Amino acid sequence: MEVVLIDSGGANIGSVRYALERLGANATLTADPGTIAQAERVILPGVGAAGPAMARLRELGLVELIRELKQPLLGICLGMQLLFESSEEGEVECLGLLPGRIARMPASAEARVPHIGWNRLRSERDSHLLDGVADGAHAYFVHSYAAPVTEDTLATAIHGAAFAAVVARGNCYGAQFHPERSAAVGSRLLENFLRGAAA
């Protein structure tokens, strides 16, 4: 299977690639439009801020290509946020593949921001992407901004307020948590994505 990791400049790309290799997938790291267009599975990782990440995708000429992909596309962490219409972080227009706006998480004495650490996933609707992932299973998060809970939300988590932890619409999928750092839960989500992941 041809799996491509879009070279979005995120610091987590190496660990995502290693996690895929453990599942037997040889992922190609590239920013080449032709290679991305021909891949069977495309993954958009990301660590950092929405503005610079979208600027990099524009500089590489990848925005329209990503919007037009027909094969399964998985956004991870910031990569998931970029799938939405816009982000409050830097007031930036994103890819617009999922409706909704990314907003800063509310901070409180009980819920510090950034949200760093393990948190429970709460199932919202069935999807092949979460086959074998138990309701209440823990995943590892690192983020300050989050996606709203919508009809596209497969699982939520709560940190101050509920937010979308896993999403799906058509051929687009997203995980706010880091599957490459989430032990068996993350490995299962990646495996499900590689196997087909029909929402």
- Residue 196: its pLDDT value, please? 79
Structurally, how many domains does the chain consist of?
1
Secondary structure of the chain in HEC code, one letter for each residue = CCEEEECCCCCCHHHHHHHHHHCCCCEEEECCHHHHHHCCEEEECCCCCHHHHHHHHHHCCCHHHHHHCCCCEEEECHHHHCCEEEECCCCEECCCCEEEEEEECCCCCCCCCCEEEEEECEECCCCHHHCCCCCCCEEEEEECEEECCCCCEEEEEEECEEEEEEEEECCEEEECCCHHHCHHHHHHHHHHHHHCCCC
- Residue 11: its pLDDT value, please? 59
CATH code, domain carrying 97: 3.40.50.880
What are the catalytic residues? Answer: 77, 178, 180
- Residue 9: its pLDDT value, please? 72
- Residue 74: its pLDDT value, please? 97
- Residue 10: its pLDDT value, please? 64
- Residue 199: its pLDDT value, please? 44
Are 27 and 40 in contact by the 8 Å Cβ rule? The answer is no
| Separation between Cα atoms, residue 170 and residue 137, nearest integer Å | 25
Q: Residue 30 sits in which domain range?
A: 3-195
Along the 199 residues of the chain, how does pLDDT read in single tens digits? 789 999 877 656 888 888 999 999 989 999 999 999 999 999 999 888 999 999 999 999 999 999 999 999 999 999 999 999 999 999 999 999 999 999 999 999 889 999 999 999 999 999 999 999 999 999 999 999 999 999 999 999 999 999 999 999 999 999 999 999 999 999 999 999 999 754 4
